[in-house]
Amino acid sequence: MIWNYLENNVPKGPVTDEDLDALVRSGKIVEDTLVWHEGMAEWQTYRQARGPIPTTPPSSPSPSPNITAEGQVVCAECGRLFAPDQVIRHGNVFICAECKPVFLQKLKEGVAMPGTMNYAGFGIRFGAKFIDGLLLYVVTLPLTVAIQGWPGSSPANPSRALITYPISMAVAMTYTTLFVGKFGATPGKMATKIRIVNPDGSKISYSKALGRYFAAEYISGCFTLCIGYLMVLWDDERRALHDRICSTRVIRK
């Protein structure tokens, strides 16, 4: 469900249920905060719309998840326990000697670590999409000419246009899914040095790449009149609507 909320009498959002819960946990939304989603007759307080916010008793501080009470450390790759002198440290994580080559290879490939992502803004993402659009135009132009002829050379034939559209869509879908599933980026994104990742920085799957293509083209694009793309401008993590739907991030390499 997509929500909006008031902050200092200024509408904010839209945000998903997950994002709304995070705002509640951070204290930004309280029980008296006014919220609204499509289908509601009027704005209501959070308490009226979703019930009271549960209170949790204060808990004693717990040790770092990477360090046990016995002083051992947890390897971020394999999850095994080691003495501090048996691991290397990178930022806030520890890596054992056996996992070190794999970890260093990930760093070399540009796998982003949680909390260190450099999110790509609207301008560079638009540039990447423009490049992909040009490449797809070049690829599909011969098919269009073969079916419809050169533009202006003959009267428009609607039946031929109906054939051209699904072919062009299939080419764009295949192009995006294969490149994003394999490399995390289309040629346009490679040229602008950005890539699509999961929230933890890992590469997304082919199935998620396919779903993200349809969410981008039809939900962020057609159904919302491109407003879904513009959400990048005000989102803290530079997410478009399709990034929220598919739980992805676009980062700079």
User: By CB neighbour count within 10 A (0-12 exposed, 13-18 middle, 19+ buried), where does 165 fall?
Assistant: exposed
Residue type (1 letter), 128? A
Question: pLDDT tens across 21-64, in order?
Answer: 878 877 788 888 888 888 888 888 888 888 888 765 444 444 44
Question: pLDDT tens across 238-253, in order?
Answer: 999 999 999 999 998 7
Per the CB < 8 A criterion, the answer to whether 246 and 189 are in contact is no
Burial 102-131 (b: 16+ CB within 10 A, else e): ebeebeeeebbeeeebebbebebbebbbeb
Predicted pLDDT of residue 239: 94
Beta strands 73-74 and 194-197: pairing type?
A: unpaired
pLDDT exceeds cutoff 70 at 232? yes
Question: pLDDT tens across 164-194, in order?
Answer: 888 889 999 999 999 999 999 999 999 999 9
Instruction: Give the model's confidence band at 230: pLDDT under 50 very low, under 70 low, under 90 confident, else very high.
Output: very high
